[in-house]
Amino acid sequence: MAQHDEGMVPAVALDEPPPHPELPHDGEEDCTDGVADGHIRRILVVAPQPFYEDRGTPIAVRQVLQALGELGRSVDLLTFPVGEDIAVPRLRIFRSANPLGFRSVPIGFSARKVVLDVPLAIALRQRLARERYDCIHAVEEAAFPAALLARRHGVPLLYDMQSSLAEQLARLGPFGWPPVPSVLNAMERWLLRRSSLVVTSAGLAARVQATVPEVPVREWLFPSAPAESSAGDVQALREALGLSGRESVVLYSGSFEAYQGLAELIAAIPVVRARMPDTTFVLVGAERANGLVAHTGAESLVTSGALRIVDRQPRDRMPSFLALADVLVSPRAFGGNLPLKVFDYLAAGRPIVATDIPTHRTVLAEDRAVLVAPHSEALAQGILAVLGEPARARRLAAAARRYARIHFGWSGFVRSVEALYAEVGRHAGVAAG
């Protein structure tokens, strides 16, 4: 897929992507105007992430783009100048400028991300000046400039709220000092009120409804693919990790940000191993940007062999890691958005231990997971309960996979995307189709 750098200082001079089939070129009369004939056909997705990379929000955005491609919608993606192109029917990828030549963007809030948000906003303005769209689908903080520009151009705005920026920033140093949290919440309310429709990660809709009750809101329920891997692949992975055949494996996958609760999980390791010494913990998702887990005791656990820390893996390798596990764990401490890994956990056919917080409760319950308080002792007891009761572990694993198969299949997700855009059209005064 060809790329085009829309910013003022291009990092690489690349060709303009070809126009969508049967769609007008820039400057021509738009005879397929979706608003005019009652159909949302042309969509601009704005994603302030390194796309594509195998990590949270980019994975979610990719699934949405693939669903829109199956639905025959023509989509332009405007994103950061970092990441790999993907091939999706009727998708063009545009990248903003990279004046400082960044080659990576860390997970979570960072100065690098803030810097890249500026040329992305400039590129958004330029894109809207060049072509007409029937809807702007803006992810996370990209919704702020999109809200201003969508109103100016008379285009409905779908705000894709993968997380609450006000909630996350308020936990970071000076952003938590009064009156900053109040300002952040006011900014969030402003954005919600200017959105035609809000779609959130599972668990966040209640926050939106409590903040701005009049705004229509829906939640994503992302598809979960069964974790299929061969016995040979799993055995090769065990050997690569230096695991013998007798060990039980407790596995976590995801980022190593503070809200994930890894400090409590690491503190639980000695408690579990005191009862079941042949238990090894594997944490998958470390990045060079945030290094090894810096919590007290982690280094000695790694040295003793109780803990393996693995760099972030390509998504196509994760089925083998999930199949390796005897227990999958999500120790998330706080945050209103459901981590994507939980959908994969459910489909993996392995018992799950997760913290009993409202976010997890959106898809987990006692019949398909062990839910515990978000502290180390409770996590340890939940893990021990699963490892010590094989029959219960099998029941939980089977129930989780059955639930994923029923509720999180791909065809159902595509239908939900279609329904979402139909609702955007209705709330914008358009009969979407």
The residue ranges of every structural domain in the chain are 34-223+410-427, 231-407
Lowest mean pLDDT among 34-43, 91-100, 301-310, 354-363: 34-43
Q: How does residue 427 score in pLDDT terms, banded at 50, 70 and 90?
A: confident
> How far is residue 106's CA from residue 187's CA, in Å, rounded to a whole number?
24
**Confidence bin at 28 (pLDDT 50/70/90):** very low
Contact 368, 384 (CB under 8 A): no
| Residue whose token pair is 């976010």 | 359
Tokens 């920026």 locate to 165
Q: What is d(CA 158, CA 424) in angstroms, rounded to the nearest whole number?
A: 7
Which amino acid is located at 230 in the chain? S
- In the predicted structure, residue 38 carries a pLDDT above the cut 90: no
Measure CA 345 to chain center: 14
Residue 75 confidence (pLDDT)? 98
pLDDT in tens, 372-405: 999 999 999 999 999 999 999 999 999 999 999 9
Per DSSP, the three-state class of 78 is strand
Q: What is the pLDDT of residues 237-281, one digit of tens each?
A: 999 999 987 899 999 999 988 889 999 999 999 999 999 999 999
**Confidence tier at 35 by pLDDT (50, 70, 90):** very low
What average pLDDT does this structure show over 313-341? Answer: 93
Q: Indicate the pLDDT class of residue 337, thresholds 50, 70 and 90.
A: confident
Structural element, H or E, at residue 168 = helix 165-169
Rounded CA-CA distance 55/318 in Å is 12
Gap between the Cα atoms of 328 and 397, Å rounded = 10
* pLDDT interval class at 34 (50, 70, 90): very low
Q: Which CATH architecture has domain 34-223+410-427?
A: 3-Layer(aba) Sandwich (3.40)
**C-alpha span between 341 and 255 (Å, rounded):** 10
| pLDDT band at 12; cut points 50, 70, 90 | very low
Q: Among residues of the chain, what percentage have pLDDT more than 70?
A: 87
Does residue 22 register a pLDDT over 80? no
Angle between helices 180-193 and 143-153 (to 10 degrees): 40
What's the pLDDT at 296? 58
> Which class in CATH covers the domain with range 231-407?
alpha beta
Mean pLDDT of the chain: 88
Q: How confident is the model at residue 299 (pLDDT cuts 50, 70, 90)?
A: confident
**Inter-residue contact 408 to 221 (CB < 8 Å):** yes
Among 49, 19, 15, 64, which Cα is nearest to 120's?
A: 49
Residue 3 has pLDDT above 50, yes or no: no
Range 292-307 average pLDDT: 79
Cis peptide leading into residue 179 (ω within 30°): yes
CB-based burial label for 230 (10 Å; 0-12, 13-18, 19+): exposed
pLDDT (average), residues 218-231: 86
Rounded to two decimals, the pTM is 0.85
> How are strands ordered across the β-sheet holding 42-47?
91-95, 74-79, 42-47, 135-139, 157-161, 197-200, 217-219
Q: Is the pLDDT of residue 96 over 80?
A: yes
Name the CA radius of gyration of the chain, rounded.
Answer: 22
pLDDT at 234 over 90: yes
* Rounded average pLDDT over 61-85: 97
Is pLDDT at 30 greater than 90 in this prediction?
A: no
Q: Which three-class secondary structure string do you get for 4-62? A: CECCCCCCCCCCCCCCCCCCCCCCCCCCCCHHHHCCCCEEEEEECCCCCCCCHHHHHHH
Domains 34-223+410-427 and 231-407 share a fold: yes
Coil, strand, or helix at residue 326?
A: coil
| Mean predicted confidence (pLDDT) in 159-170 | 93
Q: What is the predicted pLDDT for the residue at 226?
A: 65
Averaged over 334-356, what is the pLDDT?
Answer: 93
CA 54, CA 341: separation in Å to the nearest integer? 12
